[in-house]
Amino acid sequence: MSALLEVSGLSRRFGGLLAVNDVSFSVGQGAIVGLLGPNGSGKTTVLNMISGHLLPSGGDISLHGKRISGLGASRISKHGVARTFQLVRALPSLTVVENVTVALAFGRQKLWGVAARERAMGFLDQVGLAHRADHLAEDLTYIDQKRMELARALAADPELLLLDEWLAGLNPTELQSGIGLIRSLGSSGITILMVEHVMEAIRALCSQCVIMNAGVKIADAPTADALSDPAVITAYLGEQHA
């Protein structure tokens, strides 16, 4: 499997704090890969650098062999990278379909009017939210806000989709639905890098896991091997469990 995303020697400082330290990994075309680690390990900082919301202090990020690190979020989006956030960033005074239409208007396709609404409805149907298209975004439940944000990310026509704890806070029924949805996106050919703490989802979805602790990579292997690595068990559970 050829690599879509390549991260090499990535670092990020916040003043005197080295939050990400010389992290390297690759994500194959069409793969679903987990980016894991205890809270504060640097996972979201890595996503922020890949998506252009933070500039790296060092290292390189490449998509299809072309360097994208340092381009900024809007330019990286045009290269085919989209993401969701830990906290949903909705436009609350707009309807659900209008939230998705905005992404189409300013994304790679530049769609407006009737064509944009029809395309947006297709994405809402894909995530199971078409029936709430004309509701205000601020009136959605938590899971439906997440579905709307995912539809908006899909409207950006991504090759690489970054999911930042998209499954967090879901009840068991919603979780199974969410796992099925992410699996279907992977089957459609979208490459997914997901930060997640729900191990049931990681085991069900991810062929590979990159695991961080205190800003450094401690494992990068097929999921079962990565999760059984003594360094990973120590990072999550402590020395006595390794």
* Span between the terminal Cα atoms of the chain, in Å: 32
- Which residue among 157, 182, 209 closes a domain? 157
Distance CA(100)–CA(149), nearest Å, equals: 8
**Residues 41-80 as b or e (16 or more Cβ within 10 Å = b):** bbbbbbbbbbbbebebeebebbbeeeebbebeeeebbebb
195-227 pLDDT tens trace: 999 999 999 999 999 999 999 999 999 999 999
pLDDT (0 to 100) of residue 103:
86
What share of the chain has pLDDT > 90, as a percent? Answer: 74
- The pLDDT assigned to 169 comes to 84
Q: What is the number of structural domains in the chain?
A: 2
Q: For residue 90, give its domain range.
A: 81-157
- The predicted structure's pLDDT at residue 174: 87
What's the predicted TM-score (pTM) here? 0.92
Q: Please tell me which residue, 160 or 88, carries the higher pLDDT value.
A: 160
Whether residue 29 is contained in a domain is answered as yes
The confidence score (pLDDT) of residue 196 equals 92
Question: 61 in a domain, yes or no?
Answer: yes
Q: Tell me, yes or no, whether 153 and 215 share the same domain.
A: no
Q: What confidence score (pLDDT) does residue 106 get?
A: 78
Query: Which of these, 32, 39, 35, lies nearest to 196 by C-alpha position?
Result: 35
Indicate if 60 and 104 belong to the same structural domain: no
In this structure, what CATH number is given to the domain that contains residue 3? 3.40.50.300
pLDDT in tens, 33-89: 999 999 889 999 999 999 999 999 999 999 999 999 989 898 999 899 999 988 888
Count of CB atoms situated within 10 Å of the CB of 164: 20
Whether residues 54 and 170 share a domain: the answer is yes
Residue 184 is assigned to a structural domain of this protein: no
221 backbone dihedrals φ, ψ, rounded to 5°: -165, 170
Residues 136 and 213 in one domain: no
- 88 and 51 belong to one structural domain: no
In a domain, 186, yes or no: no
